[in-house]
């Protein structure tokens, strides 16, 4: 062999490090509580993934198989009996499932929204918002919308009416 060779190991870093899971616990339906190695814990709904890919057909309705979920040795995937795996990268991209009433109240407070204001943002009744502030379970579609509002702020207020047309007609 011509040239020189090095026996030292060089570490090459490319992009973000892989997300790593520490633990998983089955919740209700097809939801799991995932604890990441950084200590963060989230509840994720795996049903949309299972319904979108043939690879997961065995997990769709088989509760016994779903209960076999575990984190693989490296923490980079969930695995089930039968060789079924779901990567941590994919799980990390899934929206957090559900929302409790305390979090709903916190978001309303942070956005400084009244019952009427939150009802307008979510296009639901004022009564329903009041129930969510209380103890009514919050559906996923509402939780996703509220989290969007929390991340992006509430929608802008409606613009003031434009009176140019009226003024133009009066001056004619």
Q: How many domains does the chain have?
A: 2
8 A C-beta contact, residue 72 and residue 78:
yes
Instruction: Indicate if 82 and 137 belong to the same structural domain.
Output: no
Strands 41-45 and 84-87: unpaired
What is the distance between the alpha carbons of residues 127 and 9, in angstroms, rounded to a whole number? 64
Whether 162 maps to a domain, the answer reads no
* 37-57 confidence digits (pLDDT tens): 999 998 899 999 999 999 999
pTM: 0.64
* 104-153 confidence digits (pLDDT tens): 999 999 999 999 999 999 999 999 999 999 999 999 889 989 999 998 87
What domain range includes position 60? 21-93
Instruction: Indicate if 110 and 79 belong to the same structural domain.
Output: no
Q: Largest Cα–Cα distance in the chain?
A: 93
Residue 170 predicted with pLDDT over 60: no
* 66-87 confidence digits (pLDDT tens): 999 999 999 999 999 999 999 9
Strands 31-36 and 21-26: antiparallel
């Amino acid at each position: 062999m011509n040239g020189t060779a090095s026996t030292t190991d060089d570490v090459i870093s490319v992009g973000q490090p892989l997300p790593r899971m520490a633990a998983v616990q089955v919740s209700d339906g097809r939801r799991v509580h995932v604890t990441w190695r950084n200590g963060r814990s989230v509840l994720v709904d795996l049903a949309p993934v299972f319904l979108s890919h043939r690879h997961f057909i065995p997990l769709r309705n088989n509760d016994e198989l779903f209960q076999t979920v575990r984190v693989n040795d490296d923490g980079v995937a969930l695995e089930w009996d039968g060789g079924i795996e779901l990567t941590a990268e994919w799980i990390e991209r899934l929206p957090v499932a559900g929302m409790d009433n305390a979090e709903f109240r916190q978001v309303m407070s942070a956005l400084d929204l009244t019952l009427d204001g939150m009802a307008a943002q979510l296009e639901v009744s004022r009564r329903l918002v009041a129930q969510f502030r209380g103890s009514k379970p919050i559906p996923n579609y509402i939780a996703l919308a509220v989290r969007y509002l929390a991340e992006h702020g509430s929608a802008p207020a409606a613009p003031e009416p434009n009176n140019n047309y009226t003024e133009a007609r009066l001056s004619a």
